[in-house]
Structure 1
Amino acid sequence: MAVAGLGHVTTAYLASHFVSNTTEAFFQDLLRNDTADYLANIATWADTIRYTRWGHFTGIFHFIDAEDDPPSYCGVELDRDCKEEGCVVTALANYTQRALDPELSAWERNQAARFVVHFIGDIHQPLHDEDVSRGGNGIHVLWEGKEFNLHHVWDSSIAEKLIGGARRRPYDNAKRWADGLAEEIKTGKFADEKAEWLKTVDFNDVVGTALSWAREGNAYVCTHVLPDGPHEIVGQELGGAYYEKAASVIELQVARAGYRMAAWLDLIADEFEANKIQQGDWQELQYGH
């Protein structure tokens, strides 16, 4: 696993702490994996297939290009910022719907679930909600003396440093981080705010829910990612004071993503099962016994 997957695998492990028992059984069956790693093992799949011939069309689904002007103005507007081919907001809505569609094959719903898990992670990374220099990919900075692009720093470097390095045994490190965050959510520093995190969750307005998450992430571009603007940060060393401010945002966004993912997966599992029962009742009424 590339270090870039650390955040994704952590959010997946974190979600597995909070899903209901029936949701766990539902997705273990759908994903054909009855271990505790059933979500973590598919968390980075969407990144691997975007570079294949058949999966290339999904590349644009990992982000929304907010055409704002940080640090003076941050904001996401769906009509303005979501490309005609799609974006992370509409992709999350589409694959949520596909995960619920009983007309699709189990493998198609399996794929949809993989996308849902991944895109919930993506939408919580501020630079996946930003257009400037291709979400920071075109901004070159220094991280502990080495040159990286800003997107990589926010995807990987900050999280890796936060947990004390993750190049060896990355899944173990992700699980350890998720276990710690789960305790913070249950009884620690996030306990009082976790209910607030779910106020934006509306299964009757999937696009609106995803858009609210994108706007929340995008706001950090003005306050923490590019506080002095995109030109001032070029060539700057980010491993010191910048990291100290950014690390708390990464931790919070990973915690939010995992907790919200659990709630979202619960809704998918509950709705699918309810629809199945409803369909069975309808068939019984229609055909009788």
Structure 2
Amino acid sequence: MKTNMKSLVAAVSLSVGGVYGWGATGHQAVGYVAMQFLSPKALSFVQTSLGSTYSQSLGPAATWADEVKSSAAYAWSSELHWVDAEDNPPTSCSVSESRDCANGKCILTAIANYTTRVVDTGLSATQRQEALKFLDHFIGDIGQPLHVEAIKTGGNDISVKCSGSTSNLHSVWDSGLINKLISANYSNSVTTWANTLATRIKTGQYASLAASWISCSSTTAAATRRSMEEDVSGLLRPRAITPLKCPLIWAQDSNKLDCSFVFSYTTGTDLCTSSYYTNAVPIIETQIAKQGFRLAAWLNVLFDGATNLP
């Protein structure tokens, strides 16, 4: 029987072995990638809003939403970090906002809410900064396959091994695989990793793919086709929190990985020292690059009126 992530909210603090999308390193990498693709007005807002506290960068600010969610003041935000896809991986994968976010409290509606707030000049600078930090984090979260999955509490209740230690599948995807990756390949430097991913987007192996990452179109249903500009303008024009196509497409994109790879391990295998790790690395790097690029495009549309990206 499935156990969804909402059950964790009423349990122990989520900060203790709980639900973290990518962990600090992954989230920071998303933010640092995004910084390299911001248009002038978006960049100016980010730098001014975040200020010296966050080195004027989405990188350091990306972990704030995880840091505060276990506090009493922000306990309400815990359930906004995911959407519980009630599907059946690896047999079938799908995300439906009406089915999986029926109470209106999930990462899909959170992105819509903070999109309107970050550009609302009637709010204080502090409130708009908070909205920016939530967007920074949630657009990263939605790229983590187990943040768009309900089964076994998004993998938190699946015991696995990573580098000889007992862990859970969610934690391995949050940080276990990433920590090994940046130690082995990037001298434990998140900025080195982010710069490498950004270079791949600009001139490397991701260059021919990047445009498709921000097209917000479904490969299975023409009715879901909508540009990022249309998504944002449609949301802001009535100043109402309405369903957005882009975050839903991103969630569905990540959710497909639950069927194609995430649950494909052999029980008892060490996921961080086997072929599972080798095969997971290109998936993780692509997801981090995607979400950084998408975050930049989203902010560019908000502040400059267009994605201004290839």
TM-score (norm 1): 0.85
User: What residue identity is the alignment partner of 1:88?
Assistant: I
Judge conservation of contact 1:60–1:85 (CA < 8 Å) in 2.
no
Show the counterpart of 1:222. Answer: 259
Distance 1:37 1:11 in 2: 15
Alignment of 1:95-110 (within 5 A): 95-110=114-129
Distance 2:171 2:184 in 1: 15
Judge conservation of contact 1:28–1:34 (CA < 8 Å) in 2.
no
Judge conservation of contact 2:186–2:193 (CA < 8 Å) in 1.
no
Count, aligned residues: 263
Distance 2:53 2:85 in 1: 39
RMSD: 2.2
Alignment of 1:197-208 (within 5 A): 197-200=213-216, 202-205=228-231, 207-208=244-245
Distance 1:165 1:79 in 2: 42
Which consecutive unaligned segments of at least 5 residues does structure 1 have? 272-289
CA deviation map 1:17-56 (0-9, x unaligned): 1112332112111222398652112100000110010100
Instruction: Report deviation, 1:237.
Output: 1.6
State the structure with more CA Rg.
1
SS at 1:98 equivalent: helix
User: What residue identity is the alignment partner of 1:257?
Assistant: Q
User: Which residue of 179, 193, 203 maps to 1:177?
Assistant: 193
Judge conservation of contact 1:20–1:266 (CA < 8 Å) in 2.
yes
User: What residue identity is the alignment partner of 1:158?
Assistant: L
Show the counterpart of 1:237. Answer: 270
Distance 1:34 1:61 in 2: 24
Give the direction of change, closer, same or farther, for the CA distance of 1:36–1:187 in structure 2 (3 Å limit): farther
Distance 1:198 1:121 in 2: 14
Q: Percent identity?
A: 40
Show the counterpart of 2:76. Answer: 57
Instruction: Report deviation, 1:116.
Output: 0.3
Which consecutive unaligned segments of at least 5 residues does structure 2 have? 1-19, 217-226, 233-243, 306-310
Distance 1:248 1:167 in 2: 14
Show the counterpart of 2:88. Answer: 69
Show the counterpart of 2:32. Answer: 13
SS at 1:148 equivalent: strand
Give the direction of change, closer, same or farther, for the CA distance of 1:167–1:185 in structure 2 (3 Å limit): closer
SS at 1:269 equivalent: helix
2:289 is the alignment partner of 1:255: yes
Distance 1:76 1:203 in 2: 23
2:111 is the alignment partner of 1:78: no
Instruction: Report deviation, 1:203.
Output: 3.8
* Greater fraction helix: 1
Alignment of 1:144-183 (within 5 A): 144-164=163-183, 173-183=189-199
User: Which residue of 284, 298, 301 maps to 1:267?
Assistant: 301
SS at 2:103 equivalent: coil
SS at 1:205 equivalent: helix
User: What residue identity is the alignment partner of 2:269?
Assistant: Q
User: What residue identity is the alignment partner of 2:251?
Assistant: A
Distance 2:54 2:78 in 1: 29
Judge conservation of contact 1:70–1:227 (CA < 8 Å) in 2.
no
Segment of structure 1 superposing worse, 208-217 or 159-168: 159-168
Distance 1:165 1:93 in 2: 37
- Runs of 4+, deviation exceeding 4 Å: 34-37, 165-168
Give the direction of change, closer, same or farther, for the CA distance of 1:154–1:96 in structure 2 (3 Å limit): same
User: Which residue of 107, 119, 140 maps to 1:88?
Assistant: 107
Instruction: Report deviation, 1:85.
Output: 4.8
Distance 2:54 2:88 in 1: 45
TM-score (norm 2): 0.80
